[in-house]
């Protein structure tokens, strides 16, 4: 069997596992404590993870590892399977299918899929960290008129924040640097992960080193309140995009942030 046959077999078997997973999720929508359904979903993800790791499909292996960890907590009764958790697992199925298309065409993951991966990985950690037995507190929305931004803050007891930052393209002209804001965050917390969005980088012939072309997705652990984190970015140039999601935000708000992201948008 040559490499293309191995790849085709992997894709075909993974598709079957995803279909089985979705069937079991439909059962879990009606009975979230159905043990057989939970175990079946776990086995499907576990198999895809193991096979993708064996053949070096790193994006699939990395993503399914986090989904498996989430499911393992449910399987071992460390947390319950909520409506938000089931919705996340349906989204995970769709995302894995997109990744499988990449296996069939190219090993390069496009920018939109990369962003979905980052958001879903963060959501998996969020669902794992959240204490779902406690009712969520009222949402507090704070807006700064000088930037296109939102602060969604539930004052969760958890300390994992998600910060999306796309500086105005002319930020450097104001004598400011995005790295300054990011470094300042380290004074009151710990930056767990930074993902860089390169979508706005122009062709080399149009590249201007005095323009800010990158966007940033920051996973941030801090006991600070939302207003305190938001104040770090108070000197951002008008037209910058900033959104801060608290650890306790709902799935709907999290997905709104994903959909609202101005991928490739040029600030004027």
114 with 179, same domain: the answer is: no
List the one residue out of 258, 250, 249, 255 whose CA is nearest residue 155: 249
Residue 207 has pLDDT above 50, yes or no: yes
pTM of the model: 0.54
Q: Indicate the number of domains in the chain.
A: 2
pLDDT one-digit tens code per residue, 116-166: 888 888 888 888 765 444 333 333 333 333 344 444 443 433 457 888 888
Question: What confidence score (pLDDT) does residue 250 get?
Answer: 64
Domain that holds residue 189: 161-260
Q: Give the domain CATH number at 48.
A: 1.20.120.160
3-class SS string, 136-183: CCCCEEECCCCCEEEEEECCCCCCEEEEEEECCCCHHHHCCCHHHHHH
Q: What are phi and psi of 135, to 5 degrees?
A: -65, 140
Within a domain: 136: no
Look at the alpha carbons of 55, 21, 98, 214 in this order and tell me if their dihedral is positive or negative.
Answer: negative
Within a domain: 135: no
99 with 168, same domain: the answer is: no
Asked if residue 4 lies in contact with residue 55, where contact means CB atoms within 8 angstroms, the answer is no
Single out the residue in 130, 148, 178 at which a domain terminates: 130
- The residue with tokens 């380290």 is 186
Beta bridge partners of 196: 216
Within a domain: 72: yes
218-232 average pLDDT score = 83
Cα 141 to Cα 179: distance, rounded to the nearest angstrom: 26
How is residue 29 annotated by DSSP?
H
Q: Give the domain CATH number at 193.
A: 3.30.70
Asked if residue 154 lies in contact with residue 139, where contact means CB atoms within 8 angstroms, the answer is yes
pLDDT one-digit tens code per residue, 23-45: 999 999 999 999 999 999 999 99
């Amino acid at each position: 069997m040559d490499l293309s046959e191995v790849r085709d077999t992997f894709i075909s078997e993974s598709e079957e596992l995803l279909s089985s997973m979705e069937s079991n999720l439909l059962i879990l929508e009606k009975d979230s404590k159905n043990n057989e359904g939970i175990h079946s979903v776990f086995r499907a993800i576990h198999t895809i993870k193991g096979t993708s790791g064996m053949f070096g499909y790193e994006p699939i292996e990395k993503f399914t590892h986090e989904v498996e960890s989430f499911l393992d907590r449910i399987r071992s009764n460390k947390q319950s399977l909520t409506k938000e958790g089931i919705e996340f697992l349906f989204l995970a199925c769709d995302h894995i299918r997109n990744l499988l298309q990449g296996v069939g065409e190219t090993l390069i993951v496009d920018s939109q899929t990369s962003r979905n991966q980052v958001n879903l990985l963060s959501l998996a950690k969020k669902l794992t960290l959240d204490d779902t037995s406690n009712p969520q507190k009222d949402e507090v929305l704070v807006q700064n008129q000088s930037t296109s931004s939102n602060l969604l803050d539930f004052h969760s007891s958890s300390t994992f924040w998600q910060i999306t930052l796309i500086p105005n393209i002319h930020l450097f002209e104001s004598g400011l640097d995005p790295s300054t804001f990011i470094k300042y965050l380290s004074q009151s917390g710990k930056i767990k992960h930074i993902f860089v969005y390169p979508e706005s980088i122009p062709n080399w012939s149009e590249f201007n080193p005095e323009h800010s072309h990158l966007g940033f997705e920051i996973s941030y652990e801090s006991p600070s309140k939302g207003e305190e984190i938001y104040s770090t970015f108070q000197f951002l140039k008008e037209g910058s995009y900033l959104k801060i999601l608290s650890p306790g935000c709902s799935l709907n708000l999290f997905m709104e942030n994903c959909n609202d992201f101005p991928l490739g948008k040029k600030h004027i």
